[in-house]
């Protein structure tokens, strides 16, 4: 589905991506991990067309994303920070996004799932961070795209909402979708991911299963395996 070749990106003198090659050819849940500054967000935004690489190609379903922006209609994206217009009510924002994309009734199911009915008539500027994140999740999952990108989706969620999010992600996977996730919460990553991609200094250090990473680092625990990589590279 996603094919990335020789992707380079720098901001002024700061090299963020350095020759990334990545092929994602099957459905499943893939976590993109790495320390701050490793290039995770830049990689995601390059796929979305929000960042223009200095060099390299990205194709989705065999089509170069530079040729047309229409491929974005096949992606659902949850940004790390939900910058909503403060003066809009929740229900107004949901209606606006539906008008921009396509008609759907799935928002009703998601509103019930995340118990957002009491907030529909409230202005977004008056909501807590956790409630805004629930709105963010509804806007992402109310459509039916084959590729879903979730940037730190657990931010601000209470334990019950986190359980519902994990169940929702699994349901989308069972529909044959590809789901890319970034997260600093290793327990969450370990629970949901089929595969991980570990970025380090703008390059892919590891791509494979969590067990494969444990074997590579000689660690029995996932968090310790990640820590082992970071210690090794900073030694």
Residue 8: CB atoms within 10 Å: 15
Domain edges within the chain: 2-233
Architecture category of domain 2-233 in CATH? 3-Layer(aba) Sandwich (3.40)
* Token duo for residue 200: 């380090």
What is the predicted pLDDT for the residue at 167? Answer: 96
What's the Rg (C-alpha) of the chain? 18
pLDDT in tens, 68-79: 888 888 899 999
Q: How far apart are CA 205 and CA 90, in angstroms?
A: 41
Q: Where are the alpha helices (DSSP H) in the chain?
A: 40-47, 90-100, 106-113, 129-141, 159-174, 186-192, 210-217, 222-233
For the CA atoms of 178, 163, 132, 177, the dihedral, rounded to the nearest 10 degrees, stands at 10
pLDDT of residue 201: 86
Residue 70: the pLDDT is 86
Over the stretch 12-63, which tens digit does the pLDDT of each residue have? 989 999 999 999 987 899 999 998 888 999 999 999 999 999 999 999 988 8
Answer yes or no: are the C-beta atoms of 22 and 215 closer than 8 Å. no
Q: What is the pLDDT of residue 234?
A: 63
Measured CA to CA, the distance from residue 118 to residue 62 in angstroms comes to 44
Percentage of the chain exceeding pLDDT 70: 99
Cα(24)–Cα(200) distance, rounded to whole angstroms?
19
User: pTM score, two decimals?
Assistant: 0.93
Quickly state the pLDDT bin for 235 (edges 50, 70, 90): low
For residue range 147-156, what is the model confidence (pLDDT) as tens digits? 999 999 999 9
């Amino acid at each position: 589905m996603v094919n990335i070749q020789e992707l380079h990106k720098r901001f002024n003198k700061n090299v963020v991506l350095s020759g990334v090659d990545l092929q994602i050819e099957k459905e499943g849940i893939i976590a993109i991990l790495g320390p701050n500054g490793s290039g995770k967000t830049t990689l995601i935004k390059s796929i979305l067309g929000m960042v223009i690489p200095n060099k390299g190609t990205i194709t989705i379903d065999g089509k170069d994303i530079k040729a047309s922006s229409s491929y974005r209609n096949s992606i659902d994206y949850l940004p790390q920070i939900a910058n909503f217009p403060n003066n809009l009510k929740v229900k107004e924002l949901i209606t606006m996004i539906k008008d921009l994309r396509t008609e759907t009734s799935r928002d009703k199911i998601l509103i019930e799932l995340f118990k957002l009915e009491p907030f529909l008539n409230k202005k977004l500027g008056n909501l807590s961070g956790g409630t805004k994140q629930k709105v963010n999740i509804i806007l992402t999952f109310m459509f039916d795209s084959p590729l879903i990108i979730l940037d730190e989706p657990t931010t601000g969620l209470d334990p019950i909402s986190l359980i519902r999010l994990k169940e929702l992600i699994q349901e989308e996977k069972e529909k044959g979708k590809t789901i890319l996730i970034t997260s600093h919460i290793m327990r969450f990553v370990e629970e949901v991911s089929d595969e991980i991609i570990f970025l380090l200094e703008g390059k892919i250090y590891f791509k494979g299963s969590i067990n494969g990473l444990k074997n590579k680092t000689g660690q029995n625990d996932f968090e310790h395996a990640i820590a082992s990589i970071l210690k090794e590279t900073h030694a």
